Amino acid sequence: MRVKLLISYDGADFVGWQRQPKGRSVQGEIERALARLLGGMVSVQGAGRTDAGVHAMAQTASFEAELNMPLERLSYALNNLLPLDVRVLAAGKAEDDFHARFSPSSKEYRYFIAPGVKPSPFDARYVWHCPGRLAYDEMALAAGTLQGEHNFRSFCAKSQVVSSYVRTIYAAEFRLAKSEDAPEPLQFLAMRGELYMLRLLGNGFIYKMVRLIAGALVKLGEGKLSHVEFAQALAYEQPQPPAPAAPPNGLYLWKLAYLEKDV
Amino acid sequence: MRVKLLISYDGADFVGWQRQPKGRSVQGEIERALARLLGGMVSVQGAGRTDAGVHAMAQTASFEAELNMPLERLSYALNNLLPLDVRVLAAGKAEDDFHARFSPSSKEYRYFIAPGVKPSPFDARYVWHCPGRLAYDEMALAAGTLQGEHNFRSFCAKSQVVSSYVRTIYAAEFRLAKSEDAPEPLQFLAMRGELYMLRLLGNGFIYKMVRLIAGALVKLGEGKLSHVEFAQALAYEQPQPPAPAAPPNGLYLWKLAYLEKDV
């Protein structure tokens, strides 16, 4: 039976989604819990490969296994075995040809930025605190230009070789986040009007693409990158990323849409 | 010069306040930052010894050193060297006879409980999720009886030998927490009416005392401990703690009051 899982995690203490020789991975924790539950090795595929420190509100994963319990009990049983920073939100039956990684019709990422450096020890895991004043209106203007089909080669890690760097962004916005736009640990910042959000909805994203875009927008907001330079990068007239990648802690894999019935 | 620091920390990734042979301690991190800043060993004393996993909204610490910078720049300089889960909120000059640990005239601890087990990976570090229904009114009633002078020997770890187990509780309450009562990571739960708080203000607390009280209140709320048994423990007629200690993640050292001008 092919099973889909909807998963949320706090990425701060993980080496990322993907299993690695060393360190805690989300994939590894879920495979270990499934092995304990079902009594055998299970290989789990995720829809998005989040990096170390990157969070997921709703990651989708799928696996093939014979269940020894009703499907309705699977999330409860898994959550009992999983560490508290990974939670299974839902489990469902998938079509036989469903593959979490290749099937999503769109993905949404959100990147959260808080202005200034506030002396709180509680939110550094969840948001990028940017010291200094940023020109938010200029950042919103530049973010809007991301919409449409672009060659994102300037916005991906140089080492990434993929068959095509062209991706379509269906929606791109940078604005003040409302409480309901934000993940739980940042809702108090949103409530106080101290939280900004970059929201990108697209048909696919290349490794580090969102963080390189967020980094470029902040550099633009600081007045150290012009709109022309940003546009050149977006047109791949400037092969280097225009700014270093934003840190992973502000990034959330927010939502995955599937043409078939969602998990 | 004697210096006072007001410090806040997320205790989840620490072995506790106190320096220990192994693991990250808050005291150790601050002493290391001071050593780098001032170029010599500095011994820092804290007002409360929080356990592994226990948080502090406002811990007070003091040390003796010759500063090589204006006092106004000390918090900024320390925060630049400290890990992000420890923040110095303020620094000030202390009287020569000031000792953070022995001088507080009152201490406030808060313990936060959220009903039910919600599938969120983001708050397990910060609150105790109690599954099942709790009789909150009964818990509030029992919490009220803590006010006054009591022998708290039934509410401290058996291994603790102290000269007196008598402490005075100036204020004790258990109730729904409002947003402004809660630490930042729990304000969204408070906003939704899903957060309860035990608030204890007293002249001193013995090791594990607050967590043993919180554990007993939850057992009472579950209907597994009677008001008579709770009262017997509070009168030290029952030498064993009436319930296991509540987990550390829900506990916050909230505020310390000093008779002299506060830090």
Tell me the nearest-neighbour CA distance from A12 into chain B, angstroms: 10
Rounded CA-CA distance B252/A148 in Å is 48
Q: Are strands A251-258 and A55-64 parallel, antiparallel or unpaired?
A: parallel
Distance between alpha carbon B251 and the CA centroid of its chain, in Å?
Answer: 6
**Chain A residues within an 8 Å CB radius of B9:** 121
Residue ranges of chain B whose CB lies within 8 Å of a chain A CB: 8-10, 75, 79, 84-89, 117, 119-126, 179, 183-185, 187-189, 191
Active-site option among A10, A13, A51, A123 = A51
Least confident of A162-166, A212-216, A227-231: A162-166
**Chain A residues within an 8 Å CB radius of B120:** 8, 87, 184
Q: Verify whether the Cβ–Cβ distance A87 to B121 is below 8 Å.
A: yes
pLDDT, tens digit (0-9, with 9 covering 90-100), for A51-77: 999 999 999 999 999 988 899 999 999
Angle at the Cα of B164 (from B160 to B167), degrees rounded to 5? 100
Q: Verify whether the Cβ–Cβ distance A87 to B183 is below 8 Å.
A: no
How many other CB atoms are found less than 10 A from the CB of residue A122?
Answer: 24
DSSP 8-state class, residue A259: S
A233-to-A156, B4, B88, B189 alpha-carbon distances in Å: 11, 50, 40, 42
Please check whether residue A32 is in contact with residue A76, taking contact to mean a CB–CB distance below 8 angstroms. no
Please check whether residue B222 is in contact with residue B196, taking contact to mean a CB–CB distance below 8 angstroms. no
Instruction: Supply the pLDDT for residue A28.
Output: 97
DSSP 8-state class, residue A246: P
Q: Verify whether the Cβ–Cβ distance A10 to B122 is below 8 Å.
A: yes
**String of DSSP letters for A136-202:** HHHHHHHHHTT-EEEEGGGGS-TT---S--EEEEEEEEEEEPPGGGS-GGGHHHHHTT--EEEEEEE
**Chain A residues within an 8 Å CB radius of B119:** 8, 75, 79, 87-89
Q: Would you call B13 a catalytic residue per the annotation?
A: no
Q: What SS3 class is residue A113?
A: strand
- List alpha helices for chain B, DSSP H: 26-38, 74-81, 136-144, 187-191, 209-221, 227-234
Which of these, B112, B64, B72, lies nearest to B91 by C-alpha position? Answer: B72
pLDDT, tens digit (0-9, with 9 covering 90-100), for B51-93: 999 999 999 999 999 988 899 999 999 999 999 999 999 999 9
Q: pLDDT band for position B259 (50/70/90)?
A: low
Smallest CA–CA distance from B83 into chain A, residue: A121
User: Is A83 exposed, middle or buried, given 0-12, 13-18 or 19+ CB atoms closer than 10 A?
Assistant: middle
Non-local CB neighbours of A94 within 8 Å, separated by 6+ positions: A2, A3, A4, A62, A263
**Chain B residues within an 8 Å CB radius of A79:** 117, 119
Smallest CA–CA distance from A90 into chain B, residue: B119
User: Is A177 exposed, middle or buried, given 0-12, 13-18 or 19+ CB atoms closer than 10 A?
Assistant: buried
Q: Verify whether the Cβ–Cβ distance B84 to A121 is below 8 Å.
A: yes
Instruction: Supply the pLDDT for residue A101.
Output: 66
**Chain A residues within an 8 Å CB radius of B86:** 121
Q: pLDDT band for position B258 (50/70/90)?
A: confident
Instruction: Supply the pLDDT for residue B237.
Output: 84
Q: Verify whether the Cβ–Cβ distance B10 to A121 is below 8 Å.
A: yes
Q: Verify whether the Cβ–Cβ distance B87 to A9 is below 8 Å.
A: no
Rounded CA-CA distance B48/B101 in Å is 6
Rounded CA-CA distance B79/A139 in Å is 28
pLDDT, tens digit (0-9, with 9 covering 90-100), for A148-181: 999 999 999 887 788 999 999 999 999 999 999 9
**Chain A residues within an 8 Å CB radius of B117:** 79
Q: What SS3 class is residue B197?
A: strand
Active-site option among B51, B85, B181, B262 = B51
Q: pLDDT band for position A263 (50/70/90)?
A: very low
| Closest in B9, B120, B121 to A121, CB measured | B9
Q: Verify whether the Cβ–Cβ distance A79 to B119 is below 8 Å.
A: yes
**Chain B residues within an 8 Å CB radius of A9:** 121
| Closest in B79, B117, B123 to A184, CB measured | B123
Q: What ipTM, to 2 d.p.? A: 0.83
pLDDT, tens digit (0-9, with 9 covering 90-100), for B186-219: 998 898 899 999 999 999 999 999 999 999 999 9
Encoding tokens for residue A20? 């690695």
- The pTM assigned to this predicted structure is 0.89
Smallest CA–CA distance from A183 into chain B, residue: B122
Please check whether residue B186 is in contact with residue B195, taking contact to mean a CB–CB distance below 8 angstroms. yes
Q: Verify whether the Cβ–Cβ distance B122 to A183 is below 8 Å.
A: yes
Q: pLDDT band for position A100 (50/70/90)?
A: low
Please check whether residue A214 is in contact with residue A18, taking contact to mean a CB–CB distance below 8 angstroms. no
| Closest in A86, A179, A188 to B121, CB measured | A86
Bridge partners, residue B51, by sequence: B16
B263 pLDDT more than 60: no
Least confident of A21-25, B117-121, B172-176: B117-121
Q: Verify whether the Cβ–Cβ distance A75 to B9 is below 8 Å.
A: no
| Closest in A87, A120, A179 to B8, CB measured | A120
Which phi and psi angles does B185 have, rounded to 5°? Answer: -65, -10
Which phi and psi angles does B81 have, rounded to 5°? Answer: -100, -20
Q: Which amino acid is at B127?
A: V
Q: Does B76 belong to an annotated binding site?
A: no
A262 pLDDT more than 70: no
Encoding tokens for residue B172? 């004790």
**Chain A residues within an 8 Å CB radius of B189:** 184
Q: Verify whether the Cβ–Cβ distance A124 to B85 is below 8 Å.
A: yes
Rounded CA-CA distance B138/A228 in Å is 65
Smallest CA–CA distance from A179 into chain B, residue: B188
Distance between alpha carbon B34 and the CA centroid of its chain, in Å?
Answer: 24
| Closest in A88, A119, A187 to B188, CB measured | A187
Q: Verify whether the Cβ–Cβ distance B179 to A187 is below 8 Å.
A: no
A3 pLDDT more than 70: yes
Please check whether residue B246 is in contact with residue B51, taking contact to mean a CB–CB distance below 8 angstroms. no
Tell me the nearest-neighbour CA distance from A197 into chain B, angstroms: 18
| Closest in A85, A179, A183 to B124, CB measured | A85
